[in-house]
Chains A and B, each alone.
Chain A
Amino acid sequence: IAGITQAPTSQILAAGRRMTLRCTQDMRHNAMYWYRQDLGLGLRLIHYSNTAGTTGKGEVPDGYSVSRANTDDFPLTLASAVPSQTSVYFCASKAQLNTEAFFGQGTRLTVV
């Protein structure tokens, strides 16, 4: 079934540890996004990629990095996790300018 997949579904991580959240889509969408969703703040953009080989910073990029080596994958890395990065992370992809964005099922990350 075509779609967008995130892994892991949930994770408890010790502060200071490095963590990579994985995101894969098989719809050949150009654009991919990483958001974090926190209660009362809605979805906030961390990083995005409009096409393979390019990335850009969103609203809350500090402490996070991304890469887009190919069309399908868009991993999000926390180099040294801190408790304020406890959140639910959503990956999304989009084909073209006026098309629907498809979201993954989310990764619930707890940094302790």
Chain B
Amino acid sequence: KNQVEQSPQSLIILEGKNCTLQCNYTVSPFSNLRWYKQDTGRGPVSLTIMTFSENTKSNGRYTATLDADTKQSSLHITASQLSDSASYICVVSNSNSGYALNFGKGTSLLVTP
């Protein structure tokens, strides 16, 4: 069964600090992995996409890594800001299932002053 597990479930950090969110998956065959940010009351918005051949990708203060051998990804947030408070969702696509998306349950991040 294709599964996506995220940790931690929730996280509280002080403004300006760094944090790392984890995503483990069993989706096979792997197509790509995306991290989405979902602000409260809004729909998810894509932050990064990682394909099989990529092991790191940055988008501003967000850096995603991918280890396709161990089926793990991380999202590192540098110098956190209050606006980073949101849910971060890991989404893995299966290349055998057309457009199918496999969602993690998300990590809820709260950045406090």
Complex Cα distance A106/B34, Å?
Answer: 20
Chain A proximity of B30: nearest CB distance (Å): 11
Complex Cα distance A48/B103, Å?
Answer: 15
> B81 within 8 Å of A by Cβ?
no
Chain B proximity of A91: nearest CB distance (Å): 9
Complex Cα distance A45/B102, Å?
Answer: 9
B residues within 8 A CB of A94? 99, 101
Q: Which residue of chain B is the closest to A58 with respect to CB atoms?
A: B100
In the complex, are the beta carbons of B105 and A90 less than 8 A apart?
A: no
Residues 58-112 of A contacting B (Cβ, < 8 Å): 90, 92, 94, 97-98, 100-101, 103-106
Complex Cα distance A43/B6, Å?
Answer: 13
Using an 8 Å CB-CB cutoff, how does the interface string of A18-47 with B read, 1 for contact, 0 for none?
000000000000110101000011111100
B residues within 8 A CB of A45? 101
Q: Interface residue count for A (Cβ, 8 Å)?
A: 23
Q: Which residue of chain B is the closest to A88 with respect to CB atoms?
A: B41
Q: Which residue of chain B is the closest to A35 with respect to CB atoms?
A: B103
> B7 within 8 Å of A by Cβ?
no
B residues within 8 A CB of A106? 41-43
In the complex, are the beta carbons of A42 and B99 less than 8 A apart?
A: no
In the complex, are the beta carbons of A41 and B98 less than 8 A apart?
A: no
Given contacts A40-B105, A103-B45, 6 further A-B contacts (CB under 8 A): A31-B98, A44-B103, A90-B44, A94-B101, A101-B46, A106-B42
Can you name 17 A-B residue pairings with CB atoms under 8 Å? A42-B105, A42-B106, A43-B89, A43-B103, A48-B99, A90-B44, A97-B31, A98-B31, A98-B32, A100-B49, A101-B34, A101-B101, A103-B43, A103-B44, A103-B45, A105-B42, A106-B42
